[in-house]
Amino acid sequence: MRLILMGPPGAGKGTQARFVADHFGVPAISTGDIFRANVSRGTPLGIEAQRYMDAGEYVPDEVTNKMVRNRIDEDDAKPGFLLDGYPRTLAQVTELDGMIAFTGHRLDAVVVLTVDPEELVQRLIHRAQTDGRADDTEDVIRRRQEVYAEQTAPLIEVYRGRGICIEVDGMGEVDDVTTRIFDALDVVPQS
């Protein structure tokens, strides 16, 4: 199964990605988590990424694409993967198409979690209090929503045009959202 989990910051991608990946026996690949791990280890990639992350901006495509390409090449991702937080730009969509085509497979589905905007802000404020993520300050939260609307929301139309986009209501309890995602994906033929 080759899946993408999309949705605005605060939609619950990270939480759901783990459940969905386990369900299908594929690794959850979160570009945000990989960047954060590099930031905390102080690697050159982390140093480069941090200034963008702290500002709520996207890390440049060349950097992000190379990182994902390397991760997808690892053995555990051969049977499939679930991408959380990638692609986020049209250039990344094109790059991912190339990566998947190279392996002779196809993208099976793009799950988009929809959550109402006021709920998103509340969730992120709550996460700021509990997880202490560096980019969960009010200004940065707002900027990340804007960047999502400008650069990432248009991707939904692209995948809708390909007929592989599944919109799932991301409101309510975590377990209920997981069930909705499973119900939607269990009917998707796996490549």
* Catalytic positions, written as ranges: 13, 88, 127, 133, 144
Footprint of ligand AMP on this chain (CB under 6 A)? Answer: 9, 31-32, 35, 52-53, 56, 58-59, 64, 85-86, 88, 92, 135, 144
Residue 133 CA to residue 127 CA, distance in Å, equals 8
Determine whether the annotation assigns residue 85 to a binding site: yes
Which 3-state string (H, E, C) describes 3-36? Answer: EEEECCCCCCHHHHHHHHHHHHCCCEEEHHHHHH
Q: What angle do CA 155, 15, 47 make, to 5 degrees?
A: 70
Nearer to ligand AMP, 1 or 96 (CB): 96
Determine whether the annotation assigns residue 64 to a binding site: no
Determine whether the annotation assigns residue 58 to a binding site: yes
The DSSP secondary-structure symbol of 148 reads: I
Minimum distance from CB of 33 to ligand AMP (Å)?
A: 7
Residue 104 CA to residue 19 CA, distance in Å, equals 26
Determine whether the annotation assigns residue 172 to a binding site: yes
Minimum distance from CB of 30 to ligand AMP (Å)?
A: 6
Residue 110 CA to residue 156 CA, distance in Å, equals 8
Nearer to ligand AMP, 16 or 64 (CB): 64
Minimum distance from CB of 129 to ligand AMP (Å)?
A: 17
Minimum distance from CB of 143 to ligand AMP (Å)?
A: 9
Closest residue to ligand AMP, judged by C-beta, is 32
Q: What angle do CA 153, 96, 68 make, to 5 degrees?
A: 100
With beta carbons less than 8 A apart as the criterion, state whether 184 and 34 touch.
Answer: no
**Which residues are known binding-site members?**
10-15, 31, 36, 57-59, 85-88, 92, 127, 133, 144, 172
**Which residues are known binding-site members for ATP?**
10-15, 127, 172
